[in-house]
Structure 1
Amino acid sequence: MKRLIALALMGLSTLAMADGSNVTHSQPAVEHYTYATDLDIAKVINLSPVDDVCAVVPAKMTYEDHQGKRHVLEYSVMGNGCTNG
């Protein structure tokens, strides 16, 4: 009887692991910002770090719009490595 219970538990755990592996976490396509881009930002999820260089570098922002759809926006920013001296 104990063996049957052990086999049943192992079968259930295998099913649970298999079910979890089928979950896909699709990333939204990266959108490139232009001045004509119509932004609908309800909540910022993540901002990429900006490089410590004195040049224009790409940055990414992950956000949700007012309908709850997730977006990734790539845009250009000035790096953090410039000094005024």
Structure 2
Amino acid sequence: MKLLNIALFVALGTAGAQAFAEDSHSTAASSQAQVETYTYGTQLDIKRVIEVSEIADECGPVPARMTYEDSQGQRRTIEYQVMGSGCSNG
């Protein structure tokens, strides 16, 4: 009888762990915000900047990304164009 209880406990524990792993994976995937592309006139609702990407060492426009939190507490990522840091004056 004890062996049957232990086997049932292990089986239920394994199923619970798999369900938890699948749930945390889907939560991680949904927390990966879809990257929006900035265009002139885009209304931004930025409460707090979380991260800004490095600027590429090229001379010319390059993409950059900013991850921020909006006033609703949602994490968002926006991609925009900046002038690269590889231009020299001389």
Structure-1-length-normalised TM-score: 0.76
Change (3 A) 1:52 1:3: farther
Unaligned runs of 5+ in 1: none
Change (3 A) 1:7 1:31: same
- The CA distance in 2 between the partners of 1:77 and 1:4, in whole Å, is 63
- The CA distance in 2 between the partners of 1:34 and 1:11, in whole Å, is 51
How far apart are residue 21 of structure 1 and its match?
2.1
Q: Does 1:28 align with 2:33?
A: yes
Count of residues paired in the alignment:
85
Q: Does 1:75 align with 2:85?
A: no
Detail structure 1 runs of 4+ shifted over 4 Å in the superposition: 1-7
- The CA distance in 2 between the partners of 1:80 and 1:10, in whole Å, is 57
- Counterparts of residues 1-85 of structure 1 (less than 5 Å): 5=6, 8=9, 11-13=12-14, 15-23=16-24, 24=26, 25-26=29-30, 27-85=32-90
Structural RMSD (CA): 2.2
Unaligned runs of 5+ in 2: none
